[in-house]
Amino acid sequence: MKRNIVLSGFMGTGKSTVGKALAQRLGWGFVDTDEQIELLSGMKISKIFSEFGEDVFRRFETLIVFNVSRLSNYVISVGGGTLINPYNREILSKNSLIITFMAQPEVIYSRVCSNRDRPLLNLGREDLILERIRDLLEKRMKYYSMSDFILDTSFKEIFELVDEIIDQIYNIVF
């Protein structure tokens, strides 16, 4: 029995924004694993990356994934790299339906380019960001496709995405 909904997918695909609206519609709780990592570590994600490196960030991430995987009736927004780790995938999928958000690289770029708190896209050169997004998306596609379903969020309003998710859940459950 799946008790939660996990929203996965690349940075800038709308996981947190849609996740909050979805949780409200379902009357469920909402939790964002990146926010939990910042609370637990007392540091911004960019600081964890710059001071301790990505490996330490990933360890915090798995710890938080373990904690949230035991929740019930929660929409859980996870970071864009969370599902790459097979252990994270395994513990999340036991108790949660996994939905992956996709978006076109140009749309992702327009959503993330003004935000400096995404260390994997902080390249110091604007002109390289779009290329980096394309490259990471391609590398991660096989992990993202290991989810219950995928939604393209490129040109949709929040309420449309919430409706689509609720329709899909209904199809899966009934």
Binding map of ligand S3P across residues 133-172, x = CB under 6 A, - = no contact: ----------------------------------------
Q: Assign 27 to helix, strand or coil.
A: coil
Give the footprint of ligand S3P on residues 26-55 (CB under 6 A).
34, 45
CA 45 to chain centre: 14
Which two three-digit tokens encode residue 53? 């490196």
Could you say whether residue 119 binds ligand S3P (CB under 6 A)? yes
d(C-alpha 30, C-alpha 115), whole Å: 22
Could you say whether residue 132 binds ligand S3P (CB under 6 A)? no
Q: Which residues pair with 99 in a beta bridge?
A: 7, 149
Among 18, 103, 118, 169, binds ligand S3P (CB under 6 A): 118
140 is in an annotated binding site: yes
Q: What is the length of the chain?
A: 174
* Nearest distance, CB of residue 34 and ligand S3P, angstroms: 5
Could you say whether residue 65 binds ligand S3P (CB under 6 A)? no
77: left (phi over 0), alpha (psi -120 to 50) or beta: beta
Could you say whether residue 81 binds ligand S3P (CB under 6 A)? yes
Among 80, 96, 143, 153, binds ligand S3P (CB under 6 A): 80
Q: Return the range that interacts with ligand S3P (CB under 6 A); candidates 78-86, 93-101, 127-135, 165-173.
A: 78-86
CB-based contacts of 62, cutoff 8 Å, min separation 6:
85, 87, 88
Q: Which residues pair with 6 in a beta bridge?
A: 76, 98
53 is in an annotated binding site: no
Could you say whether residue 18 binds ligand S3P (CB under 6 A)? no
Q: Assign 75 to helix, strand or coil.
A: strand
Nearer to ligand S3P, 146 or 172 (CB): 146
* Nearest distance, CB of residue 80 and ligand S3P, angstroms: 3
Angle at 144 between CA 142 and CA 150, to 5 degrees: 125
Which amino acid appears at position 164 of this protein? E
Interface with ligand S3P (CB under 6 A): 11, 15, 34, 45, 79-81, 118-120
